[in-house]
Structure 1
């Protein structure tokens, strides 16, 4: 794969990840679709697209790949991600999500015997401080419940990522996990239907955004990311993803008129610099 193609595919992957946050936030803010319906449609459409893709590619039985634990982590991520974005700005949510993912993976690595050096320890502490700064009470503080949900989604995504370590067919594994998460999403939708009144709303534009999230930014986004991942070093892949919260914040300001506060700028700088320290020195 040529260098130019690697750059273009990597850029497309990052745009897909960033667009996922923006689409979810926009759908919940500007359309009448409810969270449970958005989650169900996103997971089902993503699973169906990925299954058809591997069927077309004549890959054998992708539905048998993946694990139920990883599928449950994917489901928890989707639920907390969606409900969280109903309460919090796109850029702030992406920052909390990304910071929580890196902190989760660092803690798990420590538990498995991977020790931090001084620079890594400083970076880890900075990432934690950045999250605290972002969640401290104040006029510009995000919704506490929304912030907690985004942190939960980050923890779930970190667990999901760790579950996929060592997979020889990450695309098929992702497909299997999406398929296994489908009945969970349907069950949530059914529970919401019977537990509340007038909360399910299959808004037409909301459905379109949910399908875009499931098929384009999730299904196609994961496929193109996994296609370029073997061409990137572990450090490169991790550091490249640092740009996602920045892209989401800028796009949220331009497209959704979300303000960039001093708190967000300060917390972003601290979290991203801290994470950069951990990742840069982790793989040397």
Structure 2
């Protein structure tokens, strides 16, 4: 893995963690509804990416695909609605467990084979995540759990679809622009449940413009240097990063268990990223 890919991957993970914090704040502490949050997130992301294309004298927003746009919207909508009934720990476990399984399964199907070091790193990362999230977690509501699993599979599909794009910024902009009418349709269907306030609107716009739009463009750039197994495993760092940021920014407790779990997850990811996979 090159230094450029490593830097882009790290920036993308920070963006994803920031996005989790913004979504958690909006749906927990403001009056915004899940459909409106999703639509504002998609629209502000699309606008930001279109402006970035214009600034670089390129209007290639026709890149991307409808399949990727559908996967993007499925992830964003399912993620928001799932967090109406799930607590953060159970939701993160379901989401990134589904991402891990779907992307790793695709990598195996495509012929990627894992050395012992990579397998050990994956086991260590998952063990650290389980140690943080499972103890004390009650059984999640079936509807919310299924929605979060859907979000994880959709995000895995979106990541896989972005691995071979020639222009990550244009592809991400195209995907967001295609997702706008679908997101607005969901809001229109649920207009009777719509609720907005200034704080919720601000969190949604910031989530869409910065941690989603720009963050996903960075992720698409990083994906060109990652195998599916690596791309799946590195995302296990996001709930750890979000929990650490929550302790610093939201006054959540920073426990010994959290520190040990973070060390296990990040150490496992380091093993995976430093290992070489066998091809077909």
Q: TM-score, normalised by structure 2?
A: 0.78
Q: CA RMSD in A?
A: 3.7
| 2:215 alignment partner in structure 1 | 221
- Provide the rounded CA distance (Å) in 2 between the counterparts of 1:88 and 1:260: 21
| Residue in structure 2 matched with residue 167 of structure 1 by the alignment | 165
Q: Is the 8 A contact 2:121 2:272 kept in 1?
A: yes
Matches within 5 A, 1:64-213: 64-90=62-88, 92-118=90-116, 120=118, 139-141=136-138, 143-145=140-142, 146-193=144-191, 197=192, 199-213=193-207
Kept in 1, the 8 Å contact 2:237–2:265? The answer is: no
- Helix, strand or coil for the counterpart of 2:190? helix
Q: 1: CA distance between counterparts of 2:268 and 2:6?
A: 25
What's the TM-score, normalizing by structure 1?
Answer: 0.77
2:239 maps to which residue? 245
In 1: Cα distance, 2:255 partner to 2:140 partner: 14
Which one is further off, 35-44 or 146-155?
146-155
Between stretches 122-131 and 28-37, larger displacement belongs to 122-131
1:148 to 1:261, Cα distance in 2 relative to 1, 3 A: farther
Kindly indicate whether the alpha-carbon contact (under 8 Å) linking 1:24 and 1:213 is maintained by their aligned counterparts in 2.
yes
Change (3 A) 1:166 1:220: closer
Structure 2 vs 1, CA of residues 267 and 10 (structure 1 numbering), >3 Å: closer, same or farther? closer
Q: Which residue of 2 aligns with 1:22?
A: 21
Measured after TM superposition, the shift of residue 103 of structure 1 is 2.0
Counterpart contact for 1:99–1:131, Cα < 8 Å: no
Cα deviation, residue 44, structure 1 = 0.9
* Alpha-carbon offset, residue 45 of structure 1: 1.0
Judging changes above 3 Å, is the alpha-carbon distance between structure 1 residues 72 and 225 closer, same or farther for their aligned structure 2 residues?
A: closer
Q: CA deviation at 1:25?
A: 0.6
Check if 1:234 corresponds to 2:213: no
Residues 84-133 of structure 1, C-alpha deviation per residue, up to 9 Å, x if partnerless?
23333445544443332222111011122333445555666677778888
Alpha carbons of structure 1 residues 97 and 249: separation in structure 2 relative to 1, 3 Å: same
Q: Deviation at 1:200?
A: 0.9
Distance verdict in 2 for CA 1:281–1:151, change over 3 Å: farther
Query: For each residue in 1:2-57, what CA deviation from the matched residue of structure 2 results, as whole angstroms up to 9, or x when unmatched?
Result: x8x99987665443221100000110000010000000111011111111221222
- 1:234 counterpart SS class: coil
- d(CA) in 2 for partners of 1:8 and 1:120? 20
Unaligned runs of 5+ residues in structure 2 are: none
